Amino acid sequence: MNALENFRFNKFSQNGEDGVIKEILKRISLSTQLNNWCCEFGAWDGLHFSNTARLILEEDFRAVLIEGDESRLKDLNLNFPEDTIIKICSFVTATGETSLDNILNNTEIPVDFDFLSIDIDGMDYWIFKNLKRYKPKLICIEYNPSIPNDVIFFQEFNPKIKHGSSPRAIANLGQLMGYSLVSATTCNLLLVRNDLVSTVVESLPTLNDLIPNGNDPQYFFYGYDGSILSNRSTVDLPWHGSFPIDSLQILPKYLRRFSGDYTKFHKVCFQFVLYFKMDRNLKKLINGLRGIFKYS
């Protein structure tokens, strides 16, 4: 059975997902009848970097497309005016009235619809974790490609934060949810429901098989002198640009030396640095305690 990575191509997707999704659904159809339903949220205009547009336009899939931005929803309606495409203006939350379960429950999409695309730049992990009623056959979910394969990290439950989650954390969650990792692209994992996996892959790949070298992550470590060091000369933020490694340093240059070599002057300066680098709330606590002891 050919590796799924060999089938990558883009018609509307960003990193070859169109081709991999097509091949996975083709393999699933050999043992299970597809119902030709899909769902995507943050759908934009329905075409921009879409993982469902090809299914809709080339394979006559019905769809639930969810977009929270009203101006984008207008474009979505223009691109897909037909009634077979359900357009919903809403942001998807992990829980509550606008959870994916609750939104889909107001549509006619089957519980075991064929394909779900999760890509909201942050809360993806929590949206997946709280999907209880619906069990799509194939899920494409975004991960943060800057996090090494071995790291288990998922952002805190806060929609205002956009940190993303590591591929390991999402793959582990998939196992708990009854899904297995079968393929990956630059920033998406593809998970198949466990009862269908044997028709898709002969043996399950590992993260390192699918994402060699963890997408070439940047590592940070520390010198004996307190310097923050990296395997690169710059701090590379994929979505913002590159910055000199010195922009990360905690200690000023004159204090970056082995602590055993500190003079009394260095020790005093170090205490000042510690104080001014402390969290504001901790400073308030310390100052409050000082006030208590002063007047007790």
List, for residues 73-132, the tens digit of each pLDDT value.
899 999 999 999 999 999 999 999 999 999 999 999 999 999 999 998 889 999 999 999
- Say whether both 156 and 106 belong to one domain: yes
β-bridge pairing 179-184 and 115-118? unpaired
Most confident segment among 1-15, 208-222, 240-254, 282-296: 1-15
User: Same domain for 195 and 241?
Assistant: no
Supply 286's token pair.
Answer: 């310390």
Residues 252 and 135 in one domain: no
User: Is pLDDT at 255 greater than 50 in this prediction?
Assistant: yes
Global confidence as pTM? 0.85
In this structure, the answer to whether residues 252 and 188 fall within a common structural domain is no
Q: What is the 3-state secondary structure (H, E, C) of the chain?
A: CCCHHHHCCCCCCCCCHHHHHHHHHHHHHCCCCCCCEEEEECCCCCCCCCCCHHHHHHHCCEEEEEECCHHHHHHHHHHCCCCCEEEEECCCECCCCCEHHHHHHCCCCCCCCCEEEECCCCCHHHHHHCCCCCCCCEEEEECCCCCCCCCCCECCCCCCCCCCECHHHHHHHHHHHCEEEEEECCCEEEEEEHHHHHHCCCCCCCHHHHCHHHHCCCCEEECCCCCEEECCCEEEECCCEEEEHHHHCCCCHHHCCCHHHCCHHHHHHHHHHHHHHCCHHHHHHHHHHHHHHHHC
Rounded distance between C-alpha atoms, residue 21 and residue 38, angstroms: 11
Q: Where do we find the tokens 């999409």?
A: 109
Residues 245 and 123 in one domain: no
Residue 42: closest CA among 114, 170, 174, 141: 141
Q: For residue 132, what are the domain limits?
A: 4-215
Return the residue matching tokens 């899909």: 38
> Is the pLDDT confidence value at 188 over 90?
yes
The pLDDT, as a whole number, for residue 279 is 63
Nearest to 90 by CA among 67, 122, 108: 67
Averaged pLDDT, 150-158 = 93
Tell me the mean pLDDT in the region 191-212: 95
Per-residue pLDDT tens for 80-93? 999 999 999 999 99
Q: What pLDDT was estimated at residue 199?
A: 96
Of 146, 180, 215, at which residue does a domain stop?
215
Q: Give 268-295 pLDDT, tens digit per residue.
A: 888 888 777 766 655 565 566 555 555 4
Average pLDDT over residues 163-186: 96
pLDDT the model gives residue 238: 78
Q: Assess whether 195 and 247 both reside in one domain.
A: no
Q: What is the pLDDT of residue 171?
A: 97
Q: Which of 159, 184, 215 is the last residue of a domain?
A: 215
Q: Quote the number of domains for the chain.
A: 2
Are 99 and 144 found together in one domain?
Answer: yes
Both 40 and 106 in a single domain?
Answer: yes
Give the CATH number of the domain where residue 126 resides. Answer: 3.40.50.150
The arithmetic mean of pLDDT across residues 159-166, rounded, is 91
**Which pLDDT value is given to residue 296?**
45
**For the residues 147-174, what does the mean pLDDT come to?**
93
Q: Where is the domain boundary, 160, 186, 215?
A: 215
Q: What is the mean pLDDT of the chain?
A: 90
Predicted pLDDT at 270 = 83
Average pLDDT rounded to a whole number, residues 49-58: 96
- Indicate whether 70 and 152 sit together in one domain: yes
Same domain, 149 and 282: no
